[in-house]
Amino acid sequence: MGPPPHRKLVHWINSLPLAACALVDSLLDLRHGDVLQAIVAWLQMDARRQKPPREREEAVVEVDARTQVHAITRYVAQRCRSEDGEAMYLLNEARCASRVLAGDVEAIAAVVSVLRRLVQERQEKEAQAVEEAHALARQELVVFSHKAKCAVASAQGSSRHAFTRKSSFIHVPTRPQKSVSVRTAKPYATDFDAFAAVFSIKQSAAGEPASWQVWDMLRHIQNQHVRPVEQAAHGVMTNTSTMAKKLERESDMVRKRRLYLTSEQIEATTAWLKLLGVSLSPTSSSIFDDPLRNGSVLCELLQRAFKGLHHSLELRYPPKTLGDMRHNISCSLQGISHLEGLHIPANYLGSQAVEATVMGDKQSIFAVLWHLWQYWEDLQRRGIKDKTEESAANNDVENTPPVVNSQEEKTHLTRSVEAPKRAKPAAMEAFLMDVSASKLAEEETYSSWDCRNDTNSRLDIPWGGQEWSNDLFPSPRHSFESPSGAMTMEDISRQADIVPIAREVPQMEHIDHSRNQETSISQPEPARSETSAKEIDSDPGLVARTTSPRPLEDKPAVLSIPKVENIRTIRRETSKAIEVSQEDIEGILCWFKLIGIRLKQPEDFQNQTARLAEFQSGVVLCDIVEKVEHLRRIDGVSRAEKSVKANALHNIEKALSILQKKKTMPLHLIRLKRSVYDGDRYVILSLLLQIRKAYGYHLKGKSGKLGVQRRHPMHQDAADG
């Protein structure tokens, strides 16, 4: 639901018992923040004492309107709920305070609507407290009335002749009564004598009917509290056990919601199912014909993709009842749990997962399918690796190694043996996915997928497919091969800051275009300039840049390319020459103190060879974004102490996606998610410098105020941002 009409909000403000709210004619009168501050202060006051909770909060009174409105919007945004509707989204925007100061009626209405809900909740709590006090007073009145009746009865019937007939159930003690002290530690009296001692009933009035009526009522109340405890001792289900089960069930649902999939993962899993020929579209409108809910997708996957594994599944297909659907899903999950080497969280295989699948929860369904896809990819890679090793072993035994004379031939043979091409499905080349869930800890064993622009299957993702006109660092639209194997989009975008030295290209008449290796090696080597040859020999980290992106087999053998073990070696060698100055590092550390960011190891910024491990989880980067964007909290961020790789990359991507909206942030730094996860010092320092500069913190002096605006408005859209 949206915020209430403006007229009702104005009437509600006028009805508050505050002097500042009586003269409000419209919502525009609230843009200065004084009336809102009065409402917030009244809301924070103690309802019983009618005094502010702390006197030191009133000491700072003279603040400007901008600071006051920022504090009010932050206070209201922290108390937003889903029932506030559109007001919650308006208050969580970074420009909400600016809109309130500018007189935006929608933003002011959002703030007032949340304050109205908070005031109503406070009034309801006060009414409930008053009602509880009245109920307690009524109970005390009943007890005192019974006590008064007992006192009157003891005064009127002091003699024994008040009873015409002696009752058989009244116990008259034969020995003199001892003085019994009042036992306040015991909540209930266990016998009539203790009851009489607690309420000061005389022995002469102990046999009155009124005293026995009160005693029977007290025993009845006591039995109501004792009976559940006795039943629990005999194993009967009690309210306590039901509440414990309910809390456990809610905790399971919360734990399940922590592991969620993104839309890109769901689309990639759907494409994989289509590649295998598994249909996801229901045949009719009935829920029994929905393949995602009746368990037929999981059964079909176990029979097609994992047909080499034997599963004893007793399925009821087609299902006719909800019980049949639950049976099929539970049998499929049981078969999935028996797959060797497959690691799926337990909350996706239990009874709660079965119920979630029947209800059509996509997060629970596609989580199992995504883990199955990763497991299938592991099996494919394992089979290709076994075949490659077997063929290499056969070649070593049967064939003798050829005599290699030239450096070009050595380089070519090294590439063909050490970096074989990995077979990937054609439809999967458009996706940039993480490594499998079972290999998240092994960072160096498996690399991410290559981002290739396929016209047949292309996703609307920010790093591929489309070349935007306002992108200063566009991604290349053609796939290519690097000397050390496949390069990712991160490696391509990283080279925007590093311009390699161009090499002299030989003349066209000296290049042999034949594909035969023997004839190309026998050609004489063309003359090259001495300066370029010395540069190449002295620095092996420089890679030649050719005029046209030809495939590897089309390049002539006369071009000598130095052997590079890994593309990260190039980045490591080139980043040594480009270092952040000491003044910039000190500025970053001072900026952290200004915005309230505390690091455990700030000395790593000074060490050129250190890895910034605190930024690998992405939590520190999210905290920085929350500070500079004035956000209460970024949704979906995992703040666990020991986070896995998937959660860390998700946190980094969350922070970078928010920074991407800033027009002064360079896009080539936004794409370096993997480098931030690796703790690359140069990338992280460059990113922090750009954030500090984009938000205007480099212009702050000792006074703590900005010298100029945070962003220079270049055009109308930039001025609005």
> pLDDT tens for residues 65-101?
788 888 888 888 888 887 777 788 778 777 888 888 8
Question: pLDDT: is 336 or 234 the higher one?
Answer: 336
- Eight-state DSSP code of residue 485: B
User: What is the reported pLDDT for 532?
Assistant: 47
Distances (CA, A) of 139 to 41, 134, 183, 188: 36, 9, 21, 16
Residues 299 and 270 in one domain: yes
The highest-confidence range among 53-62, 215-224, 303-312, 639-648, by mean pLDDT, is: 639-648
Answer yes or no: do 567 and 591 share one domain: no
Please state the rounded mean pLDDT for residues 489-507.
Answer: 48
Range with the largest mean pLDDT of 40-44, 165-169, 307-311, 465-469: 40-44
pLDDT at 444: 39
pLDDT digits (tens, 9 = 90+) for 347-389: 778 887 888 888 888 788 888 888 888 888 888 877 766 666 6
Mean pLDDT (the chain, rounded)? 65
Q: Are residues 501 and 542 in the same domain?
A: yes
Q: How far apart are the first and last CA of the chain?
A: 27
Q: Which of 523, 547, 573 is the last residue of a domain?
A: 573
Is the pLDDT score of 466 beyond 60? Answer: no
Write down the pLDDT at residue 601: 84
pLDDT digits (tens, 9 = 90+) for 424-463: 443 333 333 344 444 444 443 333 333 333 333 333 334 3
Evaluate whether residue 262 is within a structural domain.
yes
Quote the CA–CA distance of 16 and 46 in Å, as a whole number: 16
Q: How far apart are CA 573 and CA 567, in angstroms?
A: 10
Q: Are residues 525 and 626 in the same domain?
A: no
Task: Looking at the structure, tell me whether residues 307 and 360 fall in a common domain.
Answer: yes
Band of pLDDT at residue 394, cut at 50, 70 and 90: low
| Of the listed ranges 26-30, 299-303, 532-536, the one predicted with least confidence | 532-536
Instruction: Tell me 476's DSSP state.
Output: P
Between the alpha carbon of residue 607 and those of residues 145, 492, 579, 588, 592, the distances in Å are: 81, 26, 11, 15, 18
The reported pLDDT for the residue numbered 243 is 54
Q: Is 112 found in the same domain as 26?
A: yes
Q: Rounded distance, CA 505 to CA 199, Å? A: 110
**pLDDT at 109 exceeding the cut of 80:** yes
What whole-number distance in Å separates Cα of residue 551 and Cα of residue 464? 21
In a domain, 392, yes or no: no
Per the structure, the count of domains in the chain is 4
State yes or no: pLDDT of 605 exceeds 80: yes
Q: Does residue 188 fall inside a structural domain?
A: no
CB 706 within 8 A of CB 693: no
384 domain residue, yes or no: no
pLDDT at 192: 66
**Are 443 and 519 part of one and the same domain?**
yes
Residue 153: pLDDT band (50, 70, 90) is low
pLDDT of residue 6: 78
Q: How far is C-alpha 367 from the geometric centre of its chain's CA atoms?
A: 16
pLDDT in tens, 175-202: 555 554 544 444 445 566 666 776 667 6
> Quick one: 517 and 556 in the same domain?
yes
In a domain, 179, yes or no: no
What is the structure's pLDDT at 174? 52
Residue 227 pLDDT > 60? no
What is the predicted pLDDT for the residue at 635?
82
Residues 365 and 267 in one domain: yes
What is the pLDDT, as a whole number, of residue 91? 80
Query: Quick one: average pLDDT of 503-521?
Result: 46
Taking residue 109's Cβ as centre, other Cβ atoms within 10 Å add up to 22
Residue position matching structure tokens 């909770």: 53
Q: What is the CATH number of the domain that holds 273?
A: 1.10.418.10
561 and 586 assigned to the same domain: no
More confident residue, 410 or 87: 87
Across 471-486, average pLDDT: 42
Report the largest interatomic distance among the alpha carbons of the chain, rounded to a whole angstrom.
141
Query: For residue 611, what are the CA distances in angstroms to 487, 601, 606, 614, 692?
Result: 22, 11, 11, 9, 21
Last residue of a domain, one of 520, 555, 573: 573
| pLDDT score, position 431 | 35
Q: What are phi and psi of 577, to 5 degrees?
A: -80, -20
Would you say residue 237 has pLDDT above 50? no
Least confident of 20-29, 269-278, 327-336, 481-490: 481-490
Q: What does the alpha-carbon distance between residue 690 and residue 478 come to, in Å, rounded to a whole number?
A: 29
Residue range(s) defining the domain that contains residue 117: 6-130
| Average pLDDT of the segment spanning 238-266 | 56
Average pLDDT, integer, range 595-613:
85
Claim to verify: residue 421 and residue 559 sit in the same structural domain: yes
Q: Is 209 a member of any domain?
A: no
Asked if residue 422 and residue 489 are part of one domain, the reply reads: yes
Position 202 scores a pLDDT of: 67
173 domain-assigned: no
Average pLDDT on 610-638 reads 87
**Would 518 be classed as within a structural domain?**
yes
For the segment 524-543, what is each residue's pLDDT rounded down to a tens digit?
A: 444 444 444 444 445 444 44
Those residues whose C-beta lies under 8 Å from the C-beta of residue 262, and which sit 6 or more positions away, are 650
- Indicate the residue among 573, 599, 631 that finishes a domain: 573
Task: Provide the whole-model pTM.
Answer: 0.26
